[in-house]
Amino acid sequence: MSWSIGDIQVESIYEQDLLDIEALIPQSDEYKHRVDWLRPNYMNERDQLTGVIQAFLVRTQGAVILVDTCVGNDKDREFVEAWHRLSGDFLHRLCKLGIDRSDVTHVLCTHMHPDHVGWNTLLEDGSWKPTFPQARYLFSETEFDYWAIQLADYANLADSLDPNSLPFQVMKMMTATHADSVQPLVDAGLVDLVSSTHALCPGIVLMPTPGHSPGHVSVHIQSQSETAIITGDCIHHPIQIAFPALGTSVDTNIEQGVETRRLLLDFASSEKVLLIGSHFSNPSGVCVSRCGTAYRVDVSK
């Protein structure tokens, strides 16, 4: 999938399907059959919500930007079997778009969950090395600081936690994620901590979309009077467009996430913005219109 936003080009790089969305959005089973437009693109013939894990290559004058970097190869992610020690062809897919690893000038992670930072690094000679050695890696400073505190607290309390509990397993995975996909970049001096409204380059600006995580950001793209927003995880699945109050099981602040979605959807519907959903199945780019007090998807060009 690809989109032209004025003279800025956005292309999707698929890594794998996103599974168990009904578990991720616990109330979705109750609501999904009320939304006729979910079929066939976002709900399959077995009545399962569908999604993907993908990155976005953004090309503009003077910059080659990779937004989010999926799960990555060889990462220990035992808690999520589908993510554990992958051996996928993500870099080959990037190469097919005419981009070498050294061509990427910026890597932007909308937040620091494992399926958004994995290809930040790759395993070489038994150690984790930056995948894109010429790039600056950008993280929201709020997001980075939040996880630094959380991981330090976890390290101090891990022995007192139930190892079978969800919080323990999530923090164990986040600890591994930071160690193999973030810390090597810090050690290499490639990380820039930025504000949640940081301007990467002309036409590409971060916008704060907290709730899923405290420092979560989306990417606002504007060129030649056309506008798009790469959502990150403030909207995981189009069912949350129809029902913005539906949160996920891993939101740090569900109420804040709901408010973020409502504000984003109100803006997108009133300003004719193309929403590019980070986990949306094909088509990932959608236009949104009001439907009573909620919203619906109109598939984009």
SS (H, E, C) 226-290: EEEEECCCCCCCCHHHHCCCCCCCCCCCHHHHHHHHHHHHHHHHHCCCEEECCCECCCCEEEEEE
Q: Would the pTM of this model clear 0.75, i.e. be above it? A: yes
Residue 170's pLDDT band (cuts 50, 70, 90): confident
3-state secondary structure of 183: helix
Report the pLDDT averaged over residues 283-301. 84
Q: How many separate domains does the chain show?
A: 1
> In this model, does residue 139 exceed pLDDT 60?
yes
**CATH classification of the domain holding 49:** 3.60.15.10
What pLDDT sits at residue 301? Answer: 45
Q: What are phi and psi of 13, to 5 degrees?
A: -125, 105
Structural domain harbouring 109: 2-299
> In this model, does residue 300 exceed pLDDT 80?
no
What pLDDT sits at residue 143? Answer: 98
Task: List pLDDT tens digits, range 14-58.
Answer: 999 999 999 999 999 999 999 999 999 999 999 999 999 999 999
Asked if omega into 26 is within 30° of 0 (cis), the reply is no
Task: List pLDDT tens digits, range 118-138.
Answer: 999 999 999 999 999 999 999
> In this model, does residue 291 exceed pLDDT 90?
no
What pLDDT sits at residue 169? Answer: 86
Top-confidence residue, 298 or 27: 27
Q: What is the mean pLDDT of the chain?
A: 95
Report the pLDDT averaged over residues 239-254. 96
Task: List pLDDT tens digits, range 183-208.
Answer: 999 999 999 999 999 999 999 999 99
Q: Can you list the alpha helix ranges (DSSP code H) found in 56-213?
A: 90-96, 141-157, 166-181, 183-187
CB 218 within 8 A of CB 234: yes
CB 257 within 8 A of CB 40: no
